[in-house]
Amino acid sequence: MRNPMSPGQTPSQHNSTLAISPFIARGTRQQQIPISSRNLNQPQEKQDTNHSRNDPPYQSIVSSPLGQRTSQPFNSSTNLTTPHQELRKDSRFEAGEHVTTLTTTTTNTTTDIDISELSSIERLRLWRHDSLMQHMYQTAEYVGNKIYSITGDPNDAFWLAQGFYYKGEYLRAVELLSKDNLESISIMCRYLITLCLFKLNKFDEALDIIGESNPFSEESNKSKKLQSDGGIKLESSLCYLRGKIYSALNHFSKAKESFKEAILIDVKNFEAFEELTNKCLLTPQEEWDIIESLDFSILSDNEEMIKNLYMIHSSKLINTNKILEAQKVLIDEYNLETNVDVISSKTEMLYNSCDFDKCLVLCEKYLKTQDALNPKILPTYISCLHELGAKNKLFLISHKLAEQIPKSAITWFSVGTYYLTMNKIHEARKFFSKSSIIDPNFAPSWLGFAHTFSIEGEQDQALTAYSTAARFFPGVHLPNLFLGMQYMSSNTLSLAEEYFTLAYDICPNDPLLLNEMGVMYFKKEEYEKSKKYLNKAMDEIKHKLYSNSKTAVSIQTNLGHTYRKLGDNERAIECFKYVLQDSEKDPDLYVTLGFLYLQTKQLQKGIDCLHRALAIKPGMTSAQELLTHALELNVIVSLDENHPLVVSSRIHGLDNKDGSLYNTSKRRKSVSSSFSSNALPKKIRTESNDNANDGHDEEMMDIE
């Protein structure tokens, strides 16, 4: 390939479009005066950096970082050579001669950039470029087609087509760039024509032009040490665009590889990294692996900041300590406490830990004070409102979004979530579907759509919807988790285990998944396995979950049932006591705890628990029968010499020598023999499945 940095040629795949920017070109043509020819006694005019409000507007290109860069001293030997050079006047200084750049102040009588020595074509190019920057696309087209007619330069064709693209005239851009076979001459033109075809939904044609694989892959390995021009390498952009095309064609594995290649070629291509994470193409571990493989050193002083920003953008299901540390660095050292990415990372972690109250406060603070329509905060905020049952707030935010951004998938996801919270399932399904049509890559809408079928018991449709979500989002474990839950609800435990295993392979640390696996093995009567996964879930919630969350309570409840089945009643009692601290109005738990107390001969505690259960639900048959049996046992049980009844009888002279008042053990069986764990459930099996004990333990398992 020809050297694209030679005059009159276009940049290669190793460069960005900055190489043909008029601002970069302008940098090589600044007014330069050799030090030897300047009067050293005359003080150099300093640049005024304090602009008052009365200063007149000055040339807009000075606001560009590239325009500002040209105000700094320049070494001509390191300047970029651009196609514009051959249209300029010859420089009067030798290359490599020590030069100093003069700058002017921003005053009423001077301008920031002296264009007097520019050629007419260069002035037109600056005019065209500034029109694009100020969104005056008709002006940019008017000037741009004159430039291209004069020069015939592929770079000028690119900027003219760029104006067409900004105006949404994609077909005109394609026709312009196709005329002289420019896509084979210029990498930039190839990229732009492919992008326009992608916008026109002509995916196969776009893929024909860009290629099914990266043609520069071998050169990329050799050119990794080449110094970047500061922009995003066109090769990386081409790989990213190839991934977008594959994603639109539902070739997700190829899309994943293309996006990975794009970010590995140039770490500055954040959109490629965002596609991998937002579309859930990578598992949590794969996201962290790719961060570790990226070369952030090319970012120089920004290396630490960008790496930490990438870390907080990755999955929050693993490496939470690293994410917290990255957040701290960004806040303490870079003053990014109010930045949306830091706030978004915090809200996601709070949501994942089920601390919905704190999550809601943080979301509302950002939405009220900074950006009310931020797409990174809104999905978490809406989901948080649903978890808290905040119907009024959901109603208000849904109406606001419908008025202000009706074409956004988030809007109709919010409306669907509102109806789901109101238990209007049919309406919720309609709006979740609308959201997924607007943006097929928005995972929350797909899951919400599938949930509506699950809630109504339409298992076949729910399985189809969850399966589609699992295919579209291969890096997220939730669709497989919900598929397993569907099969478990129909008692198809073998298929449930298969899908739970798939979810476990993607995310082995999710407490919700571990809880469901524990329930499944409990139903299969594999109690040791059930205990293993439930204990692992308990270990995870200690680090991740808010202790009062529904999931944490559910795991403790299920673990208590598992210990009971294994005969470890003391541990089971501890689990249920922990749960009752936050679930004091659950009669089933009181019945279960009372049953365990009776089994461990703690009759009075058992009776107290059964009384509490009946106080909450007076018609509970199982509690009534257990209480009757417990009271019978309490009457016939042998009383201790220090029992209050015995002491009282002695005081009143009712004591007898044979101790007949309290020595009743000879009349009846002992407590342990009369209260067997197998005989009692037979007496209470007439109770409904919701209140059954032992005989129907699987009904008592708490499934989130």
496 vs 442, 482, 501, 502, CA distance in Å?
26, 9, 9, 10
pLDDT tens profile 41-66? 444 444 444 443 344 333 344 344 44
**Whether pLDDT at 420 is above 70:** yes
* Per-residue model confidence (pLDDT) at position 179: 87
Decide yes or no: CATH 1.25.40.10 for domain 338-456.
yes
Find, among 300, 231, 304, 297, the residue nearest to 270 by Cα. Answer: 231
Structure tokens at 553: 């309570």
pLDDT exceeds 80 at position 428: yes
Q: Grade residue 183 by pLDDT with cuts at 50, 70 and 90.
A: confident
Q: Are 83 and 8 in contact (CB under 8 A)?
A: yes
pLDDT higher than 50, residue 372: yes
| pLDDT tens per residue, range 546-558 | 666 788 889 999 9
Instruction: Read off the pLDDT of residues 648-677 as tens digits, 9 standing for 90 and up.
Output: 666 655 554 444 434 444 433 444 444 444
Measured between its terminal Cα atoms, the distance across the chain in Å is 60
Average pLDDT over residues 389-408: 97
Q: Do domains 1-198 and 469-700 have the same CATH topology?
A: yes
Check pLDDT > 70 for residue 39: no
**What percent of the chain is predicted at pLDDT more than 70?**
71
Q: What is the pLDDT of residues 442-452, one digit of tens each?
A: 999 999 999 99
Residue labelled with tokens 């009946």: 614
pLDDT at 70: 44
What residue segments make up the domains of the chain, in order of their start?
Answer: 1-198, 211-323, 338-456, 469-700
Mean pLDDT of 365-379: 96
d(C-alpha 3, C-alpha 13), whole Å? 11
| pLDDT at 685 exceeding the cut of 50 | no
- The one-letter amino acid at 668: R
Which amino acid, 330? L
pLDDT band at residue 21 using 50, 70 and 90 as cut-offs? low
Which residues, at least 6 apart from 7, have a Cβ–Cβ distance to it below 8 Å? 81, 82, 83, 85, 86
The predicted-structure confidence for 295-310, as pLDDT tens digits, reads as follows: 999 999 999 999 999 9
CA 635 vs CA 73, 123, 601, 604, 611: distances in Å: 100, 106, 13, 11, 17
- Per-residue burial over 223-246, b if 16 or more Cβ lie within 10 Å, else e, is eeeeebbebbbbbbbbbbbbbbbb
pLDDT category, 242, cuts 50, 70, 90?
very high
Lowest mean pLDDT among 209-218, 240-249, 296-305: 209-218
Q: CA triplet 179, 183, 186: central angle to 5 degrees?
A: 115
The pLDDT of residue 565 is above 50 = yes
Tokens representing 606? 């058992």
For the residues 482-493, what does the mean pLDDT come to? 96
- What is the per-residue pLDDT across 604-621, written as a single tens digit (0 to 9) for each? 899 999 999 999 999 898
Q: How confident is the model at residue 83 (pLDDT cuts 50, 70, 90)?
A: very low
Question: 364: buried, middle or exposed (CB in 10 Å: 19+, 13-18, 0-12)?
Answer: middle
pLDDT at 651: 62
What does the pLDDT average to over 325-352?
Answer: 96
Confidence check: pLDDT of 170 > 50 = yes
Q: Is the predicted pLDDT of residue 234 greater than 70, yes or no? A: yes
**Whole-angstrom distance, CA of residue 652 vs CA of residue 679:** 40
Closest among 126, 132, 99 to 113, alpha carbons compared: 126
Residue 169 scores a pLDDT above 90:
yes
What does the buried/exposed string (b/e) look like for 474-492 if buried means 16 or more CB atoms within 10 Å of the residue's CB? Answer: bbbbbbbbbbbbbbbeeee
Assess whether pLDDT exceeds 50 at residue 157.
yes
Instruction: Quickly name the fold that domain 1-198 has.
Output: 1.25.40
Residue 33: beta bridge partners? Answer: 100
Of 277, 289, 342, 341, the C-alpha closest to 315 is 277
Closest CA to 351 of 379, 322, 325, 384: 384
374 CB burial (10 A radius; 0-12, 13-18, 19+): middle
Q: Which CATH number fits domain 469-700: 1.10.390.10, 3.40.50.1000, 3.20.20.140, 1.25.40.10?
A: 1.25.40.10
Percent of the chain with pLDDT over 90: 61
Instruction: Answer for the pair 245, 237: CB distance below 8 angstroms, yes or no.
Output: no
Transcribe 580-593 into DSSP letters.
Answer: HTT-TT-HHHHHHH
**Three-state secondary structure call for residue 405:** coil
The pair phi, psi for residue 183, each rounded to 5°, is -65, -20
Q: What is the pLDDT of residue 217?
A: 79
| pLDDT per residue as tens digits for the range 104-113 | 333 344 445 6
Task: Identify which has the larger pLDDT, 94 or 214.
Answer: 214
Does the structure show a pLDDT above 80 at 34? no
625 touches 683 (CB < 8 A):
yes
The three-class DSSP label of residue 343 is helix
* pLDDT at 337 > cutoff 60: yes
Average predicted confidence (pLDDT) for the chain: 80
Mean pLDDT of 231-254: 95
Highest mean pLDDT among 90-104, 283-297, 669-683: 283-297
The owner of tokens 């009759």 is: 603
Task: Please list the residues that pair with 119 across neighbouring strands.
Answer: none
Higher-scoring residue by pLDDT: 640, 559: 559
